[in-house]
Amino acid sequence: MKQSLRVIHGADFHLDAPFSALPPEKAAQRRGEQRELLRRLALLSNRAQADLVLLSGDLFDGGEIYGETLDALVEALSSIQAQVFIAPGNHDFWTTHSAYARKWPEHIHIFTEPAIEHVDLPELNCTVYGTAFTGPYREDRPLKGFQAPDDGKIHIMVLHGDVNPDSRYAPITREDLEESRLDYVALGHVHTCSGVQRLGKTSWAYPGCPEGRGFDETGEKGVLCGVVGSGGAELAFASLCTRRYLIQEVDVTGKEPEEALRTALPTEKSKDLCRIILTGERSSEPDLKALSALAAPWYYSVSVRDHTRLRRDLWKRAEEDTLTGLVLRDLKRRMEEAPSDEDRASLELAARFALAALEHREDPL
Ligand SMILES: [Mn+2]
């Protein structure tokens, strides 16, 4: 009898997302790369000899999908040797005319109702539960009052929902999770990987989205891969993404922006998408167009933003006959007498903080 199962857990593929921040050709290319995630998922699952592939909703970004996407989905899911479970989410909710509503091979199970349904897998000593969104919102708590039976089997739930009692997207409370007595709750909705969490005997996780679509979905993206048993779940993050969204800060203080940017560029061409944020104090207005052009060959896509501040003259108010003038004069004199650069630097910092405090400003720069 199986005591533990090999599991792949993914969610929030958002296939056919518009990628509206990119020019149309690149947006189409990115949608093509999203379709490749399905092939990679199938490959990963078959290589790992997974027993279960759990897909917790928002596989599609919207109700209408391209023919290429449906073809890729059918081909990839059909090639998976594991049992596949899909719990439609708020973006890909179940309807009778959804892409999900077709005849699927035996090993693919798609939940179609808000009420919890289950599939028994006696050969795996396991029961898989799941529910579906049937509209863009659901405000009922899908796990409320649910408790897995104590029958020696492994109990797993696939569910799109929000571990937040005030959510409009299938709210889940921590008590609901703990009282469910499920061995693993495979969640979707949150696009950042949560790692495996535990409440009572119940393990739960969000894998996050497997491919970023914007600078709110930065870094490595993928699925969770590992083992679920009646003693708990051990799943590790496995990267699946083609490209990453990166945010890089470049401090221009005391430098020409172009020079600062040059030293921050990668040493070889990157396939990632990068947002460069200029920070620190500038002596003149940076030419964002020229800086973007300088960085462009190094990334798949790059944009440059200016968050710098104009360098202000720290000692401008030193001659004032006020408390501010007095404090600045004192610090200036001490700076002139300071024995080292280090002392001068800390006195300058002290002057900045003092000036900010005296002017009731939050930011000492
Ligand atoms: Mn989502």
pLDDT of residue 332 exceeding 70: yes
Taking only the tens place, the pLDDT of each residue in 160-189 is 999 999 999 999 999 999 999 999 999 999
CA of 257 to the centre of ligand 1 (A): 38
Q: Are 182 and 156 in contact (CB under 8 A)?
A: yes
DSSP 175-222: HHHHHH--SEEEEES-SS----EEETTEEEE----SS--STTS-S--E
CA of 298 to the centre of ligand 1 (A): 30
CA of 326 to the centre of ligand 1 (A): 57
Percent of the chain residues topping a pLDDT of 90? 88
CA of 189 to the centre of ligand 1 (A): 4
CA of 340 to the centre of ligand 1 (A): 55
CA of 59 to the centre of ligand 1 (A): 8
Mean pLDDT of 42-59: 98
CA of 252 to the centre of ligand 1 (A): 37
CA of 43 to the centre of ligand 1 (A): 23
CA of 209 to the centre of ligand 1 (A): 7
Taking only the tens place, the pLDDT of each residue in 112-121 is 999 999 999 9
CA of 12 to the centre of ligand 1 (A): 4
Mean pLDDT of 35-62: 98
CA of 17 to the centre of ligand 1 (A): 11
The pTM of this model reads 0.87
The answer for residues whose C-beta is within 8 angstroms of residue 282's C-beta and 6 or more apart is 252, 257, 308, 309, 310, 311
